[in-house]
Structure 1
Amino acid sequence: MLSWLGNVAFACCRPDPIVRIMNMDDDDKRLDASSLASLFWGRDLGKHSFGDFSIAVVQANDVIEDHSQVETAQDATFVGIYDGHGGPNASRFVSKHLFHNLFRLALEKGTISEDVLRRAVIATENEFLALVRKTFGTNPLIAAVGTCCLIGVIWEGTLYVANLGDSRAVIGCLGKSKVVVAEQLTRDHNVGLEEVREEVRSLYPHDPSIVVEEGGTWRVKGLLQVSRAIGDAFMKQPEYYRNPLINAYYHIPEPFNRPVVTPEPSLNRRVLQPSDKFIIFASDGLWEFLTNQQAVDIVVQYPRAGIAKRLVERALREAAKKRWMHFNKFMKLPKGKRREFHDDITVVVIFIDPELLEREAFAPELSVSGFSDVVRPSSFSVMEVEEHDSSSSLELIFESVED
């Protein structure tokens, strides 16, 4: 049971050269690699236990706020997409701690389940809020930093997904007409959607300003577009939103009677079928420009190698077209300036080969972190796993590894 938890031995590898990212379409020649190297990161194709995966990231902000990871083991695959807001602190923190918490809880329970994913998210939230409390005196604005969080685990032929915010997981599955169709696995927790606004209003019936539209954008208390997130302590705890500095900086309209943003994830469990071909995990920067079906159609039409980069590039082409700008000129925009045109974008495509779901297949045990020049070992090493008594409980001894 859970042999992946006892055999993860993370290795180092280098990402594929970025110069290959734009050699994709005929309407533009390959772009100058020197103008892209600092903004793009990608791995064309890697192996996981049940097929291949592809990952790509493009930076728009001065400091990238998207963080992500793919963890592969002998009989399980983990994907995490963490889209930060207010700065990179929360998304970076989650990328270092959430998988560790999931690993620990799965060992304790002896299984993977929706409840294990939920507990891992809440444990990570509590750890980040503890960091906020510890550092608030010297860095008060950390109370206004948060992150969306999308994680998926494939184990024993089942996909488990937990989501907070507006990153999205979409599965491409073969329909009755033998056409691969898109099915959204997650729900966007963005108050720009009427059903989400109504959900939030129903939870705060006596607060007429719980969601406010300003400049055509709906926000919780006029401050945040998403209704679920890790962090954002100033929208959860009185000690922060009543702080004079926070109030002055964010112009909080009035005190909250209770938290107005929740860390509770929405959960999904799906037994994978032979008709399920691949899963696209992506931050909302992709979905701003592509529909679910458009993204699935791109994955179907092109080779696996470099497919995540192709999805990123297609989104960027749409962003350039929206602003009536030639793509080559658009691609030369520096970070920071790019944020006026698009957000940071992270895409992970997980291909599912049905025959591998039913038997053990070799897969390298890797920890791949998005937007890193070198894929580093995980922040912990498995030193010993012992199986005890008739309940087959598992004991894990961790050895910390300094960053």
Structure 2
Amino acid sequence: MGGCVSTSSRSNCSNRSRGEAVSPTFFDIGCCWSKRAKRTFSDHVIGLQHLPSVPNRIFTNGESRSSCIFTQQGRKGINQDAMIVWEDFMPEDVTFCGVFDGHGPHGHLVARKVRDALPLKLLSSWHSCQSRQNGSGQTCFKGSSEKKSDGGDSEKEVSAEERLTSLWREAFMKSYKAMDKELRSHSNLDCFCSGSTAVSIVKQGSDLFMGYIGDSRAVMGSKDRNDLMVAIQLTVDLKPDLPREAERIKKCNGRVFALQDEPEVCRVWLPFDDAPGLAMARAFGDFCLKEYGVISVPEFSHRILTERDQFIVLASDGVWDVLSNEEVVKIVSSALSRSSAARILVDSAAREWKLKYPTSKMDDCAVVCVFLDGKMDMESDYEEQGFSSATLQSYHSGNAGESDDGRNRSEPCLQRNFTVRSSEESGRLCPVEFEGDVDTASGEDQNWSGLEGVTRVNSLVQLPRFSEERPNQ
């Protein structure tokens, strides 16, 4: 849930509604590779300061050459969802896109930090792995559609495909590990009880590589043999009730169980305290649970795209809580224009929240729609449908807490956050006190119970309170 620049940079890139190229290019700012120059992680830290100058990178409501993205704040406080589409991520038709759903008091900052830093870490890891694999600094960006030679040997093709997949798998694993390590050591960002999901995709030619943690999801719209649109789920919601996830957590002395008033929602708990009640098994941050089975190791998968595959939708769980995969694919495929698909999907999710859970607070929603044929509407969809710049700006304000220049409108503090339930809401659980102003809400809103009918109520139940002497493990 969120969208601001990483703490190592105080500026942010402006919204490029159609991904216009600007100068300097990405390869002018310290991320190009050659045989003569060996890039290190420090080069990419410097690169964070130049993100506003990177062309074809969008992270706020808008569209690019082949994608559209949209987010809308829910009613639980600041928008903690973040999203990104980065076309020309690498040469030869390589695109990166991701959705990140933060949780906890500083979840919005974690999600935004991951949004900005993870792609650069992935680039660094990819280059490192590729250089070691090839024994040189020469890069090869050929996708599977370009690897087939005239009368080529099938064994060599399979070997090349396996090498490419292995390279990206290692790059995803290393970059996710490096991202979590940086969050742990970050001096200005408290991730002890705050974290973020991540679903990230790299499209390289006709190859699709995916790495993901948490319960944000990716779904693809594809046509079957009868030319009918069908939904194909690309990722798995990594929640604590999955047998392998629960087994790992229990082996690490973490506890997995659901509260009586939400029996369908399994959560992760500390061994010595009924907190924090994390509703996912893998996440960035959440270091209070990292010793007890919650990990940041991503699931990785590879898929070869075909001509029948039409588009990919990445979204936070605010969308999936109220819409099925089939409904999402139907909404996107029937949108009046491609550039409006993400916004229409978020609007549909907002309506479903009101219809299905009228007494509950809507969660933040973030959507990325990537059209695989690389095409987008020629004219502005907002102008065609009568959306004024003021209306669009009101939608953009859904990124609460982030101004146009990327600065937070208010500095974060450990205050009441609606992803953490009050003592009245958590029943037998101990209350948690916060200093600072309470998020703006009416009295009726503050008396709201998050347990009324929502499939996945809040990512956290409450923050743990540690005494000076922790019980013996």
Correspondence for 1:57: 71
Q: Which residue of 2 aligns with 1:361?
A: none
Unmatched segments (≥5 aa) in structure 2: 1-25, 34-50, 131-138, 141-166, 270-274, 377-397, 407-473
How many Å apart are 1:345 and its aligned residue? 0.7
Counterpart residue number, 2:182 = 127
Provide the rounded CA distance (Å) in 2 between the counterparts of 1:42 and 1:69: 10
1:76 corresponds in structure 2 to 94
Taking the aligned partners of 1:162 and 1:292, their CA distance within structure 2 comes to 19
Task: Output the amino acid matched with 1:322.
Answer: K
State the distance in 1 between where 2:58 and 2:113 align: 23
Q: Which amino acid aligns with 1:262?
A: I
Q: Tell me, yes or no, if the aligned pair for 2:57 and 2:84 is still in contact at 8 Å.
A: no
Q: The residue matched to 2:282 in structure 1 has which SS?
A: coil
Provide closer, same or farther for how the CA distance between residues 320 and 123 of structure 1 changes in structure 2, counting only shifts above 3 A: same
The answer to whether residue 325 in structure 2 is matched with residue 271 in structure 1 is: no
Aligned-partner SS, 1:107: helix
**Number of aligned pairs?**
288
Structure 2 distance, partners of 1:231, 1:259, is 13
C-alpha separation in 2, matches of 1:64 and 1:346: 9
Structure 2 distance, partners of 1:106, 1:13, is 19
Give the conservation status (yes or no) of the 8 Å contact 1:13–1:374: no
Report what 1:95 is aligned to.
115
* Corresponding letter in the other structure for 1:200: E
2:256 matched residue in structure 1: 211
One of 362, 366, 369 as aligned partner of 1:346: 366
Residue aligning to 1:173: 222
1:249-328 → structure 2 map (5 Å cutoff): 258-302=291-335, 303-324=337-358
Out of 197, 200, 207, the residue aligned to residue 245 of structure 2 is: 200
- Which whole-Å deviations, capped at 9, do the CAs of 1:13-39 have from their partners, x for residues lacking one? 999xxxxxxxxxxxxxxxxxxxxxxxx
The 1:348/1:201 distance shift into structure 2, 3 A limit, reads closer
Find the aligned partners of 2:237 and 2:57 in 1 and give their Cα distance: 34
Matched to 2:72, the amino acid is V
Q: Shift in Å at residue 102 of structure 1?
A: 1.0
**Counterpart Cα distance in 2 of 1:323 and 1:114:** 39
1:127 positional shift: 0.7
Match of residue 204, structure 2, among 155, 169, 178:
155
- The alignment partner of 2:202 has SS state of strand
For the residue of structure 1 that corresponds to 2:111, the secondary structure is helix
Go from structure 1 to structure 2 and tell me whether the alpha carbon gap of 1:281 and 1:91 turns closer, same or farther (over 3 Å shift).
same
Question: CA 1:298–1:375 in structure 2 vs 1: closer, same or farther (change >3 Å)?
Answer: farther
Q: Which structure 2 residues correspond to residues 202-241 of structure 1 after superposition, within 5 A? A: 202-204=247-249, 210-214=255-259, 215-216=261-262, 217-221=265-269, 223-236=277-290
CA displacement, residues 176-219 of structure 1 (integer Å, 9 cap, x when unaligned): 1211110100000123xx4x1x2233225568872121121321
Q: 1:152 to 1:375 in 2, by over 3 A?
A: farther
Deviation at 1:374, TM superposition (A): 5.0
**Equivalent residue for 2:448?**
none
Counterparts of 1:2-17 in structure 2, within 5 Å, are: 6=32, 10-11=54-55
Equivalent residue, structure 2, for 1:42:
61
Note the C-alpha offset of 1:106: 2.1
Normalising by structure 1, report the TM-score.
Answer: 0.65
Q: Is the 8 A contact 2:252 2:292 kept in 1?
A: no
Cα shift at 1:299: 1.3
Percent identity over paired residues? 26
AA partner of residue 42 (structure 1)? N
Structure-2 change in CA distance of 1:297 and 1:70 (3 Å): same
- Name the SS for the 2:178 alignment partner: helix
CA apart distance, 1:146? 0.7
Q: Is the 8 A contact 1:279 1:351 kept in 2?
A: yes
Give the whole-Å Cα distance in 2 for the aligned partners of 1:322 and 1:275.
Answer: 33
Distance 1:12 1:208 in 2: 45
SS in structure 1 of the partner of residue 367 of structure 2: strand
C-alpha distance in structure 2 between counterparts of 1:70 and 1:207, whole Å:
36
2:164 corresponds to 1:145? no
CA change 1:301–1:85 in 2 (3 A) is same
Take 2:323 and 2:216, find their aligned partners in 1: how far apart are those partners? 13
Q: Which has the higher contact order (CA 8 A, sep 6+)?
A: 1
The whole-number CA distance in structure 2 between the counterparts of 1:355 and 1:207 is 48
How far 1:305 moved relative to its partner? 2.0
CA deviations 1:281-340 (Å, max 9, x no partner) are: 101111011100100011111221210000000000111112459xxxxxxxxxxxxxx4
More strand by share: 1
Contact 1:274–1:354 (CA under 8 A) maintained in structure 2: no
Contact persistence 1:12–1:374 (CA under 8 A): no
